[in-house]
């Protein structure tokens, strides 16, 4: 509620002042201007209308004068010549001017004597009762009848009548259509102003709507018509439901009235523009003024006041800087100037007092400092003693650090020795395995060599034997079929032979001998192949780096394992495309064998071993998966350790995987294992295609020769 009583900001006060002291006067001035402009606009419009009605009335006057002159010419002739000559003249005048619709020559009884164009229907008619005819007799010059419908044409018409000296008259019938054309010419723009002409009684002589003229409409009720009779030419009045502004002029000679009339709406529409213009101009002025004043007030009053207020605030916290800049505040009026001055004086006085206080304070400070210095001297001495103690302490600390370092070096040495020992142990296991393999290899090579020779000639002899047996059998057949000699002997012999044949079951023999030989050939071939494979596997003298087909090595290993695998698992080969790989084939084959044997052992009854291979950039890989019992997670870390085995005592040495790992490492490859307990194990061997390791050293190490 207290807020309601707070005075509004100065800005608002000034805005109110501007609104009520500037805007409303401006509006008043604007409205006055509008009224003024409206009056001027009306005057201007009236001037324009006045011009139009005047020019129209002049036109009509001229027109009628022209008609009068024609009539005059005809009348003068009529006064001097006889009827026949007059007829000729009248006809030529009527035709030449084309001004009158009809021309009449009336005798003194107002009967039509001559008529142009001559129509017998009308000649001789008595025209004496026509309105405005009688009185024209007395007038000099011509007179004009009121409008009426022509007896001849049925059109709205007026007569121009010129009395003759000897009695009778010349009459011209003027079609009002002539004026019609003239006012239609003026009233070009419909919906705006137009002109119409009335006779002295208000009957239309010409109007943009020609039907109104033909219908002899009388507009004497219009205020403009009544006004012009009272010398008041311009009036606002209602015309056909619309308000209009009309101006009229009366043609003196005929008493006709020419009116120019404009709908008020047309007049107001131009006026409305003016109104909008003035209103928006005053609004613009007001806004500019308000904006400008606001800016000025902001600069000269509000801003200095705000700075004064700021300075006062600063004073309360003891900041005298704004007081010093007080003189820079623009003071545009005396009161503000005095206020600023007073404020500055006050500030200065306060500052002087503040300075005195400060000085006293400073002195006190100096004394405190002096005392402090004395104290610090004593402090120095104490510090020196403390320093010497610190130094000796430091030395002791350094010594401890050194001892600690020596200790740690010793521990490191021990670790190194342990590692070397481990390596030695590893090497030793490899050597044992290699030695074992080498001896197997030598044995195998020796056996193979010894078997190879006899099996070779058994094999070839069996081929020859088979051929011989076939030939012998053919020969027997030939004998049996074509035996010449005495029939009785023959039959005896034949019976003997037949007997013999039955005894030895020749047919069966004949069948079986081939089979036997074939089986023997097959067996010999198998022995030959096994021997070959044994040789290939041991490959004496092949512990050298060679470009090797890995698939060949796999196949020979599988052959060597032969039955051991066949009893346990189906081997599925999913080989990819492999290039030749630079390796020591016997060692790689040994790795395959170790893994395959482990796979076979892992399978409890029957299972499946899948061998996959492929190339990965500059490496080839071979994976061997079994669906056996898998490796327990706790054993996973130990499988490559030498002498670790899960097999019963006597079955495994625990060196297979350790050695394989070593071989692959020496080849620059790696051996990975994935296993799931109960589901199977996959070993994957990665070998670089081109081995970049130092071979000499390695090959000597791993030589199995």
DSSP annotation of 302 reads: I
Name which of 339 and 346 has its Cβ closer to other proteins: 339
- Supply φ then ψ for residue 325, to 5 degrees: -90, 10
The least distance separating other proteins from the CB of residue 348, rounded to whole angstroms, comes to 29
Sign of the CA dihedral 202, 206, 208, 213? positive
CB of 129 to other proteins, least distance (A): 5
- What CA–CA distances, in Å, run from 492 to 268, 473, 481, 486, 496? 162, 22, 15, 10, 6
Tell me the three-class secondary structure of 12-69, residue by residue.
HHHHHHHHHHHHHHHHHHHHHHHHHHHHHHHHHHHHHHHHHHHHHHHHHHHHHHHHHH
Q: Nearest 5°: phi and psi at 45?
A: -65, -40
E-strand spans in 128-210?
Answer: 142-144, 148-149, 156-163, 169-175, 194-198, 204-206
Question: Residue 259: which of 273, 239, 279 has the closest Cα?
Answer: 239
Q: How many CB atoms lie within 10 A of CB 20?
A: 10
Q: Judged by CB, which is closer to other proteins: 149, or 424? A: 149
Alpha-carbon span 139 to 263, nearest angstrom: 41
CB of 8 to other proteins, least distance (A): 6
Q: How far is the CB of 180 from other proteins (least distance, A)?
A: 14
Q: Nearer Cβ to other proteins, position 16 or 135?
A: 16
Least distance CB 121 / other proteins (angstroms) = 6
Q: Which residue's CB is nearer to other proteins, number 70 or number 130?
A: 130
Pairing of strands 257-263, 112-116: unpaired
Contact (CB, 8 A) for 682 and 673: yes
The Cα 175–Cα 255 span in angstroms is 18
**Can you tell me the distance from the alpha carbon of 367 to that of 370, in angstroms, rounded to the nearest whole number?**
5
Q: Judged by CB, which is closer to other proteins: 220, or 684?
A: 220
Q: How far is the CB of 217 from other proteins (least distance, A)?
A: 8
Smallest distance from the beta carbon of 70 to other proteins, in angstroms? 24
Residue 502's Cβ-count burial label (10 Å; 0-12, 13-18, 19+) is exposed
Specify the residue, 203 or 298, whose C-beta has the smaller distance to other proteins.
203
**CB 169 → other proteins: shortest distance, Å?**
14
The helix or strand, by DSSP H or E, that contains position 445, with its residue range, turns out to be helix 334-481
Residue number, 185 or 201, with CB nearest to other proteins: 201
Q: Are 175 and 152 a contacting pair, CB within 8 Å?
A: no
Q: How far is the CB of 178 from other proteins (least distance, A)?
A: 18
Q: Which is nearer to other proteins, 199 or 698 (CB)?
A: 199
Q: Considering the complex, state which of residue 222 and residue 622 has its C-beta at the smaller distance from other proteins.
A: 222
CB of 359 to other proteins, least distance (A): 44
Q: Given the complex with other proteins, which of 94 and 159 has the nearer CB atom?
A: 159
> Applying CB under 8 A, which residues contact other proteins?
7-8, 13, 16-17, 19-20, 27, 109-111, 120-121, 124-131, 146, 148-149, 151, 154, 199-203, 211, 214-216, 218, 220-221, 241
| Inter-CA distances, 610 with 600, 679, 685, Å | 12, 14, 14
Contacts of residue 570, defined as CB under 8 A and 6 or more positions apart, other chains included, come to 606, 607, 608, 609
Q: Which is nearer to other proteins, 93 or 130 (CB)?
A: 130
Radius of gyration of the chain from Cα atoms? 73
Q: Which two tokens stand for residue 356?
A: 């005195």
Q: How far is the CB of 73 from other proteins (least distance, A)?
A: 27
């Amino acid at each position: 509620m207290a807020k309601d009583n707070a005075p509004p900001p100065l800005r608002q006060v000034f805005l109110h002042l501007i609104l009520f002291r500037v805007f409303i006067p401006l509006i008043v001035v604007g409205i006055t201007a509008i009224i003024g402009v409206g009056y001027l606009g009306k005057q201007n419009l009236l001037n324009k209308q006045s011009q139009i009605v005047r020019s129209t009335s002049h036109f009509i006057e001229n027109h009628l004068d022209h008609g009068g002159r024609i009539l005059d010419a005809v009348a003068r002739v009529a006064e001097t010549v006889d009827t026949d000559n007059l007829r000729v003249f009248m006809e030529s005048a009527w035709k030449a001017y084309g001004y009158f619709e009809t021309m009449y020559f009336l005798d003194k009884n107002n009967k039509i004597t001559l008529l142009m164009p001559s129509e017998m229907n009308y000649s001789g008619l008595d025209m004496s009762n026509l309105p405005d005819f009688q009185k024209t007799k007395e007038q000099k010059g011509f007179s004009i009848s009121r409008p009426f419908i022509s007896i001849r044409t049925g059109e709205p018409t007026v007569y121009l009548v010129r009395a003759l000296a000897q009695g009778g008259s010349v009459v011209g019938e003027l079609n009002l259509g002539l004026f019609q054309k003239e006012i239609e010419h003026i009233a070009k723009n419909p919906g705006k102003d137009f002109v119409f002409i009335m006779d002295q009684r208000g009957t239309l002589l010409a109007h943009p709507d020609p039907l109104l003229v033909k219908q002899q409409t009388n507009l004497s009720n219009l205020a403009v018509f009544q006004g012009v009779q009272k010398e008041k030419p311009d009036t606002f009045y209602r015309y056909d439901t619309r308000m209009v502004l009309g101006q009229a002029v009366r043609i003196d000679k005929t008493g006709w009235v020419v009116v120019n009339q404009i709908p008020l709406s047309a007049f107001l529409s131009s006026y409305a523009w003016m109104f909008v213009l003035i209103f928006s101009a005053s609004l613009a002025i007001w806004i500019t003024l308000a904006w400008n004043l606001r800016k000025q007030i902001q600069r000269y009053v509000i801003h200095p006041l705000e700075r004064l207020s700021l300075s006062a605030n600063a004073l309360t916290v003891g900041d005298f800087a704004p007081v010093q800049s007080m003189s820079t505040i623009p003071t545009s009026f005396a009161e503000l100037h005095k206020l600023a001055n007073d404020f500055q004086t006050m500030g200065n006085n306060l500052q002087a007092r503040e300075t005195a206080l400060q000085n006293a304070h400073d002195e006190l400070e100096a004394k405190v400092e002096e005392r402090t210095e004395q104290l610090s001297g004593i402090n120095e001495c104490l510090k020196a003693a403390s320093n010497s103690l610190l130094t000796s302490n430091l030395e002791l600390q350094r010594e401890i650090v050194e001892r600690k370092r020596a200790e740690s070096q010793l521990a490191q040495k021990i670790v190194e020795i342990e590692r070397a020992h481990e390596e030695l142990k590893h090497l030793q296991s490899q050597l044992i395995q290699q030695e074992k393999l080498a001896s197997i290899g030598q044995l195998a090579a020796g056996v193979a060599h010894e078997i190879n020779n006899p099996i070779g000639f058994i094999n070839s002899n069996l081929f020859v034997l088979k051929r011989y047996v076939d030939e012998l059998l053919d020969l027997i057949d030939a004998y049996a079929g074509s035996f010449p000699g005495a029939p009785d002997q023959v039959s005896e012999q034949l019976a003997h032979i037949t007997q013999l044949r039955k005894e030895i079951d020749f047919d069966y023999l004949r069948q079986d001998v081939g089979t036997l030989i074939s089986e023997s050939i097959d067996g010999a071939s198998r022995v030959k192949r096994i021997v070959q494979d044994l040789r290939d596997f041991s490959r004496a003298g092949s512990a050298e780096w060679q470009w090797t087909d890995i698939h060949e090595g796999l196949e020979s290993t599988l052959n060597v394992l032969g039955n051991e695998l066949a009893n346990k698992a189906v081997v599925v080969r999913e080989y990819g495309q492999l290039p030749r790989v630079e390796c020591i084939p016997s060692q790689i084959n040994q790795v395959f064998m170790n893994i395959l044997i482990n796979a076979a052992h892992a399978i409890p009854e029957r299972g499946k071993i899948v061998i996959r291979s492929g190339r990965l950039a500059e490496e080839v890989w071979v994976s061997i998966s079994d669906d056996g019992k898998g490796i327990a997670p706790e054993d996973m870390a130990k499988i490559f350790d030498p002498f670790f085995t899960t097999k019963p005592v006597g079955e495994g040495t625990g060196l297979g995987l350790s050695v394989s790992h070593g071989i692959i490492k020496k080849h620059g490859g790696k051996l990975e294992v994935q296993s799931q307990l109960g589901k199977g194990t996959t070993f994957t061997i990665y070998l670089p295609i081109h081995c970049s390791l130092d071979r000499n050293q390695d090959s000597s190490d791993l030589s199995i020769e």
